[in-house]
Structure 1
């Protein structure tokens, strides 16, 4: 059984992690903002996975058991907040948009964690104000709880390029496409095509962080062409894969 480390105080710090570095399951009594200034960060909880590139941050509420994994060389920035500071009023993990101002506030705040000066207190106040207006981003990949759905999702997670229909996948896991469609909506809150696209985007972010060429990413993640992949990526993130990597 996996040991869950309990660290009462969520740290505020900056560190560099090599690609593939994993931080095992742990929890804090504080809230925490987890931000990758470079690379892509994957955060996993019992409710699913969140992937955050450099224009996103992950909000992890107090008490949430979570794991981290670095994809690409990662500049990790952690901001610990007491439970009294919940600027968005969120009680579950979420991905937040990070604009240039919020990015600089996070970088400055995490580079001097031991500073108790009035200037740092003002910086922290501005950081909290900026978080209050930071929109949430739909980058959550929910974890199925129904066994047959868990089996199907595991097949696609192992090979996101698997283009079989829901009916064909259903024959492999022993359920009809009608049953599976109902389960996707009821258990995961989205349709099968929506979940598969979200899964492919998660994998695409990780591959891009590892400097995989865009055409190869498109092929490995199941898009029919690089242009089709670029179109979906732009609609999801507001920029092209090439601009994202830059």
Structure 2
């Protein structure tokens, strides 16, 4: 297993990554807010993956081993916070809603790396106030620990359009529908339909970041129709896939 890079201080800065670019697994002694002003960001930890478009940010607590991947040309805004500052009181990664005001605060605050000026300090204080009232969003795709469940999740990850029932998937991996249902609830904390919807939304964000047409995204991610995809996407993100593409 490769050694995980340890960077004690989480930087505050703007960084650009080309589509497909990665930042390898690392950890900080500080907390970090990770926000994509353009493109779609995927953050992966041992517990699963989080995907965030421009209306969301990702909270990465101090000490969490994590890696970044860019989908579409990524404009990455990083905000480091000392471990003693935890405005969200969260000890695990989370996806947060980003209001128009919070978006502008993050972008402005990350223009200058680690700005300790009086203006920068005031801006940071307002940013922390906005973080405290931000809402968590259910965009986490957990990674299963159970080996049988891993096989089921791998089948669906390879083809999110796979529409087989849990019973049919169970036949392939040698487990009953009842056993798999129990594993989804106990291991991942969600039902099978909830996990599959999360997987499809994650894949849809990636495809949209690559400028894939909405109809193709709906088809490749397993929705029965484009309108069904648009409805689920709007309820999850507050806007349509077409708006997201623009």
Task: Give the TM-score of the pair, scaled to structure 1.
Answer: 0.99
1:114 offset after TM fit, Å? 4.3
Partner of 1:151: 151
Return the alpha-carbon distance in structure 2 between the equivalents of residues 240 and 3 of structure 1.
41
Question: Secondary structure of 2:34's partner?
Answer: strand
Please list, as runs of the form range in 1=range in 2, the aligned pairs for 1:37-76 lying within 5 A after superposition. Answer: 37-76=37-76
Partner of 1:236: 236
1:139 offset after TM fit, Å? 0.2
1:207 aligns with 2:231: no
Return the alpha-carbon distance in structure 2 between the equivalents of residues 130 and 156 of structure 1.
37
1:237 offset after TM fit, Å? 1.1
Question: Secondary structure of 1:232's partner?
Answer: helix
Return the alpha-carbon distance in structure 2 between the equivalents of residues 70 and 193 of structure 1.
27
1:24 aligns with 2:18: no
Could you list the runs of 5+ residues in structure 2 that have no partner in the other structure?
none
Answer yes or no: is the 8 Å Cα contact 2:13–2:114 preserved in 1: no
Return the alpha-carbon distance in structure 2 between the equivalents of residues 15 and 133 of structure 1.
26
RMSD of aligned residue pairs (Cα, Å): 0.7
Could you report, residue by residue, the CA deviation over 1:210-246 in whole angstroms, capped at 9, with x for unpaired residues? 0000000000000111111001111111111011222
Runs of 4+ in 1 over 2 A off after TM superposition: none
1:113 aligns with 2:113: yes
1:185 aligns with 2:185: yes
1:147 offset after TM fit, Å? 0.5
Could you report, residue by residue, the CA deviation over 1:23-79 in whole angstroms, capped at 9, with x for unpaired residues? 111000000000000000000001100000001000000000001000000000000
Answer yes or no: is the 8 Å Cα contact 2:184–2:192 preserved in 1: yes
Question: Secondary structure of 1:200's partner?
Answer: helix
Could you report, residue by residue, the CA deviation over 1:132-160 in whole angstroms, capped at 9, with x for unpaired residues? 00000000001101000011001100100
Task: Give the TM-score of the pair, scaled to structure 2.
Answer: 0.99
Could you report, residue by residue, the CA deviation over 1:130-188 in whole angstroms, capped at 9, with x for unpaired residues? 00000000000011010000110011001000011111100111100010001101111
Return the alpha-carbon distance in structure 2 between the equivalents of residues 114 and 8 of structure 1.
14
- Alignment: residue pair count: 246
Answer yes or no: is the 8 Å Cα contact 2:11–2:114 preserved in 1: no
Answer yes or no: is the 8 Å Cα contact 2:60–2:94 preserved in 1: yes
